[in-house]
Structure 1
Amino acid sequence: MTAGRVLLWRHGRTAHNASGRLQGQVDIPLDDVGLWQARTAAAALAARYRPTRVVSSDLSRARATAGALAAQVGLELVLDPRVRERSFGDWEGMTSDEIAARWPDEHAAWARGGEPHRPGGESRADVAERMREAVGEHAAGLGAGDTLVVVTHGAAISLAVGALLGLPSDWRGITGPSNAHWAELHAGRLSHGGAWRLTGYNLGPTDASADWNAGPDQQVRDPD
């Protein structure tokens, strides 16, 4: 058996997201907007689905996002370091311009879609495999009517989706979803090979403010 539905949910915004810094596995907490995004998206998830299990990366930005949902639906949070973000090694914490200044050739190769050498960094194939393995194991203990929510990270989600669809790790057909948005996959029929089917991507709350990254709309008072 396996879960009938899997949601791969990206964490809310962090200060590194807001400033365009590559996060990887550095442990950056949610900022104020990210906390609001997590609460808002968690309410939308709880209203739209009935999660059976909530699994999260052990990095604090994912844990806090997952905790907002687990509290709403009354589930215990399961932590799994295998669903962490891709490690970018020495590049973590840097902007694209800073990386280009220090590693111009490697940055150029990365911008072209290549796999440049980064001390301490992970390959796309390694991340795709650990994500596929972790999602598969957590889904395997559930039934066709169950929904597994995995709270993870942008690059990890795009690589996981490709792996679960049976695509090669160098496939680059999608980018990571927006903060606190998710991908929805349904289990395929065994007669069709049992592969997962992508039924929605970059899904999110319908009641968010006009600018998701601006945070909650603020009521402006007229001066007395």
Structure 2
Amino acid sequence: MTAGRVVLWRHGRTAHNAAARLQGQSDIPLDEVGAWQAETAAAALAGRYAPTRIVASDLGRARATAEALSQRTGLPVHTDARVRERSFGDWEGMTSAEIAERWPEQHAAWRAGREPERVGAEARADVQARMLTAVTEQAAALEPDDTLVVVSHGAAITLGLTGLLGLPAEWKGVSGMANAHWAEIQPGRPGSGLAWRLEALNVGPVHASSDWNAGPDRVGRDMDEEVRDPA
């Protein structure tokens, strides 16, 4: 058996996200806006789904985001290091401009979609493999009426999605996930030949601020405006 629904939820914002610094596996906590994002998104998730199990990366920003949903559902948070973010080695904590200055060739390769060499970055295929194994195993322990929520990270979720959809790690057709937004997948229909199908991508709270990264609404802000994608 397997879960009837898997929700892949990215953690809320951190100071590194706000400063456009590459985070990787550095254990950066949620900032004030990120904590608000987690709470706001958790309310939307709890209202839209009936989670059965919550699994989070062992990095603090993912666990703190998962705890916001745990407090609303009463479910415990189970950690799984296999769903942590991709490691970016020597580049962690740096901006794109700083990386380009020190590693121009590797930065150009990375921006072109190739693997950066000699900087200690984890290969895309390795991230995809561990994400695929972790999500598949966690989902297999549940029933068709169950919903698994996996709280992970931007690059890890993108690579996990491509793997779950049967696509190679090099495929670049999935957009990045905004902070505290999620993707939903369900098992493939019988006879389709697909293990999973994508039902929703980059979904966020419908009642969130018109500027998601600005934090809670201020006086005079129009609550009817759509959430703006900060990517």
Interval of TM-score (by shorter of Structure 1 and Structure 2): over 0.9
Residue equivalent to 2:229 = none
- Conserved 8 A contact 2:166-2:194: no
**Cα deviation, residue 192, structure 1:** 2.2
Runs of 5+ unmatched residues, structure 1: none
Instruction: Give the corresponding residue for 1:71.
Output: 71
1:91 counterpart = 2:91: yes
Quote the offset at 1:217 in angstroms: 1.1
CA-CA distance at 1:118 after TM superposition? 4.1
- Partner residue, 2:20: 20
For 2:119, the aligned partner's letter is P
Question: What does residue 199 of structure 2 align with?
Answer: 199
- Contact 1:89–1:121, Cα closer than 8 Å, also in 2: yes
Is 1:54–1:150's contact at 8 Å kept on the other side of the alignment?
yes
Does 2:90 correspond to 1:109?
no
Q: Which amino acid aligns with 1:160?
A: G
3-state DSSP of counterpart to 2:191: helix
Q: In the alignment, what sits opposite 1:189?
A: 189
Task: Give 1:218 deviation, angstroms.
Answer: 2.4
Amino acid at match of 1:70: S
Query: What's the offset of the Cα at 1:22?
Result: 0.2
Q: Does 1:148 align with 2:156?
A: no
The code of the aligned residue for 1:112 comes to: A
Identity %: 67
Please report how far the alpha carbon of residue 71 of structure 1 lies from its aligned counterpart in structure 2 after TM superposition. 1.1
- Counterpart of 1:3 in structure 2: which amino acid? A
Counterpart amino acid of residue 179 in structure 1 = N
1:34 alignment partner AA: G
Q: Which residue of 2 aligns with 1:5?
A: 5
Sort the Cα spacing of 1:39 and 1:118 in 2 relative to 1 into closer, same or farther, 3 A: farther
Aligned residues of 1:89 and 1:118 also touching (Cα < 8 A):
no
SS in 2 for 1:191: coil
For residues 6 and 210 of structure 2, the distance between their equivalents in structure 1, rounded to whole angstroms, comes to: 28
- Contact 1:37–1:215 under 8 Å retained in 2: yes
Task: Kindly provide the amino acid, as one letter, of the partner of residue 129 in structure 1.
Answer: A
**2:125 corresponding residue in structure 1:** 125
- Deviation, 1:120, is 2.5
SS of equivalent to 1:175 = coil
TM-score of the aligned structures, taking structure 2 as reference length: 0.93
Distance 2:179 2:54 in 1: 18
Aligned equivalents of 1:158, 1:118: Cα separation in 2: 23
Amino acid at match of 2:195: A
Deviations 1:161-187 (CA, angstroms, capped at 9, x unpaired): 000000011001013210000000001
Determine the structure 2 residue equivalent to 1:163: 163
Please tell me whether residue 59 in structure 1 is matched to residue 59 in structure 2.
yes
Structure 1 pair 217–140 and aligned structure 2 pair: CA distance change class (3 A): same
What's the CA shift for 1:195? 1.3
8 A contact 1:51–1:148 mirrored in 2? yes
Question: How many correspondences in the alignment?
Answer: 220
